[in-house]
Chains A and B, each alone.
Chain A
Amino acid sequence: MNKKIIRILLLVSLIFLASTLILPLWDIAIFAPQYPEGLNLQIWLNKISGDLNNINILNHYVGMKAITPSDIPELVYFPKLIAGILVVGAVALAWPHLVSIGLYFLSFAAFSLFALYDFWKWEYDYGHNLSPDAPIKVPGMSYQPPLFGSETLLNISIYSYPAIGGWLMMVSFLAVLYVLYLRAKELWG
């Protein structure tokens, strides 16, 4: 019985993880008095969509670098990493041994931790490495958007939350975690 549940959970995990290749991972929404309808950025594994242009125009006033997707290498190699993790997951599905499941879990977890850290680092860089020529300078002010949650910078409220792909990825991760637990319990009771 456990074997069947493990297979189903692994399959769900794989499908949900694979869906991140075609679904947005993260949403950043920006509201300001002159933007009552909001500006939005969607971060995908391989692209950034939404009101990128307008956000760049606003950011230039405070000296933030323009967000240029073609200059972000992660958008090229992240999908490849996910593809690699999916291969490991597929092996685990075919051969649901503690070792293969463990490898799938570890690669998934390592990627997730690295991706979050990497995302935070980009945000830190955008928010702190400001152009000395910026038209508007506020002493002591940085503009780092939140990794998760909301924040108010000057007159702008920023909301940063997982998008559908991000939530599915979390569910996928929890599924592996649970499978790992089931397997470990089976072996060591």
Chain B
Amino acid sequence: MKINNKTMVTVAVGIGFAASMFACTPKKPSSAGGASVSKNAAEKVYVAPGKHDEFYSFLSGGFSGQLAVYGLPSGRLLRVIPVYSVNPENGYGFTEETKKMLNTSHGFVPWDDSHHPQLSLTDGKVDGRYVYINANNTPRIAKIDLKTFKTTEIIEIPNSGGNHGSPYLTENTEYLIASTRFSIPLPNKDVALDKMKEEVKGTISFIKFGKEEKMEVAFQLLVPGIDYDLASCGKGMSHGYCFLTSYNSEKASTLIEINASKNDKDLLAIVNWKKAEECVAAGKAKTVDGQHVHNELNEATHTATSTTIEKVKMLDIKDCDGVLYYAPVAKSPHGADVDPSGQYIIAGGKLAAQITAYDFNKIVKAIEDKKFSGDYDGVKVLDYESVLAGEVKKPCLGPLHTEFDGKGNAYTSCFVSSEVVKWKLGTWEVVDRIPTYYSLGHIMIPGSGSKQPWGKYLLAMNKITKDRYLPVGPELPQSAQLIDISGDKMEMLLDFPTVGEPHYAVGFEASLIKDKVKKIYTLEDNKHPFVARGEKEARVVREGNVVHVYGTAIRSHFMPDNIEGIKVGDTVYFHVTNLEQDWDIAHGFSIIGANTSELLLMPGETSTFKWTPSKPGIYPFYCTDFCSALHQEMQGYIRVSAPGSSTPLKFNQGK
């Protein structure tokens, strides 16, 4: 989601939505507390020291480019997983091993805007293998392995102008789909901006798992050049289809907030991906230019590799009958969400104060009966009434995104009126509402995107916190709020500040994976080319101007810890292996004046630090992670001599 928050508020006030229209929404100015919090709320979120949370939740870091792991119901931050942004805390993107993870066809891109985590599914249920997340800015999808909580794969999406509607999964993780947010000329070229309308195209990419669960761009659909937004793929009866909202059917390229808000209805894209698969198999796709980079972290070598792929398969929807239909959708929609049964597809119109539920059976029937109300860029638009299951009338202001509790209820976040509304699938009536603080975007119910949600909690992710916390300068945290949805009335339990922008989240019951998480890397399995599996293998090797240090770290010393014979002009690679084979015993490494970050080494892991000393002298290095009682003593020295000096290469320890 990428609306300018303040602008939205202004628009809402400017067009004069009267708060009284929604009289049941309390609109009192919030002092501390705001929503009445019941007396036992603290008890419900209290997780005693040493006890574990019931749920894992993964909140995107938005403009931090990362993914944060929180325990629920406590809201405790457990870890920030670096994905698209370099992370000096553990050297991600700084070490020689991980730099390649951030390679793209534009070179090294050490930042992105990570938006929509999604969980791998088996038979439509959360299986706890992987989390995927998109990079919105420079189009990419990352895979995070839930055994190590590490980013192990990143694939760039070619022929895409911004990867916002991504990565949405089919029910057996057959495909991850990704759509173009900004439509651009395809292939991209130099075009006068006022002539763009004729040239722009969009793509919907299908990324599948090849061998060994590696991601590859299987094919791309060439679609009309509108701005595609969030999506959901079908499950159960609707398996085989994906549903994407879009905006800017006007194809405006300037002052979009006005020029893309002219049409009364926007378009919901209905993609029959099984049909697309058939067409690709039948040879109807063309191989076109589509340079993109695929990065993988190998667990055995602890090292990333980066491969550039030049071509992709592109299927023009004109060459594949019945692969794409549109349906009218309320103005400026944000999310399309499929309910756990797979029957209903829900889309709210941000500017329409209306939520639409489409019936999958009616969609199929309308296509069969050719109930079209027109066409858009050669794509048939289904008749709205023919596919409509029901409308939730005047639910709130700015309905954005809907999640499900698996008990027949839907919950929609409302950005403008800052609230969550609960309504019933089938009767479409609002049964409850609760205010949030403030301007919430997405909401999350653990497992909501699957056939089996855990409908106990709802997490609201808010953009503005104003008076909610102690002020920390003009830049305030954003926040998440935990709401109990186990009873008839929603109940506010907790709010907690978050890393970056908590754009969207996914979650699941912790018991699904907590006993499977990896504790150490086995030293014998470490296949890093510069590993030293024991202190006896530690050594320093010179190759011309390049020096490789095969170093080791163990409580509480490095081997070697005295190195001489390094000269200014040398490039020194410190390949440090943590020899520990004990859970939670990490070591760190850094040198004075180093131009990268530290290394942070998990047990059995090897990581490489590139160092180019610029002046002669003695350079201390030390362990940066408090590892033991003698951590402070875990240090060593390197002697750097002037260029051309004859200091012999020497290394030792304990002499």
User: Which A residues contact B (CB, under 8 angstroms)?
Assistant: 37, 51, 53-54, 57, 60-61, 135-136
Contact = CB atoms under 8 A, between A and B. Distances in A.
Nearest to B582: A54
A61 B555 CA distance: 9
Nearest to A39: B582
Given A57-B554, A57-B555, A136 B582 contact: no
B580 interface: yes
A54 B582 CA distance: 7
B629 interface: yes
B629 A57 contact: no
Interface of B: 554-556, 580-583, 628-630, 633
Contacts of A60: 555
A71 to B, nearest CB: 16
A37 B50 CA distance: 13
A51 B581 CA distance: 9
A54 B630 contact: no
21 contacts: A37-B583, A51-B582, A53-B581, A53-B582, A54-B580, A54-B581, A54-B582, A57-B554, A57-B555, A57-B580, A57-B582, A60-B555, A61-B555, A61-B628, A61-B629, A61-B630, A135-B556, A135-B629, A135-B630, A135-B633, A136-B629
Given A135-B630, A135-B633, 19 more contacts: A37-B583, A51-B582, A53-B581, A53-B582, A54-B580, A54-B581, A54-B582, A57-B554, A57-B555, A57-B580, A57-B582, A60-B555, A61-B555, A61-B628, A61-B629, A61-B630, A135-B556, A135-B629, A136-B629
A53 B556 CA distance: 14
B232 to A, nearest CB: 42
Contacts of A37: 583
Contacts of B580: 54, 57
Q: Tell me whether chain A's interface is mostly helix, strand or loop, or mixed.
A: mixed
Contacts of B629: 61, 135-136
A120 to B, nearest CB: 28
A54 B554 CA distance: 10
Nearest to B583: A37
A37 B519 CA distance: 13
Nearest to B584: A34
A60 B580 CA distance: 14
Nearest to B654: A133
Contacts of B583: 37
A118 B556 CA distance: 32
Contacts of A136: 629
A160 B629 CA distance: 26
A61 B629 CA distance: 9
B627 to A, nearest CB: 11
B604 to A, nearest CB: 11
B646 to A, nearest CB: 34
Nearest to A135: B630
Nearest to A36: B50
A155 B104 CA distance: 52
A57 B583 CA distance: 13
A54 B523 CA distance: 13
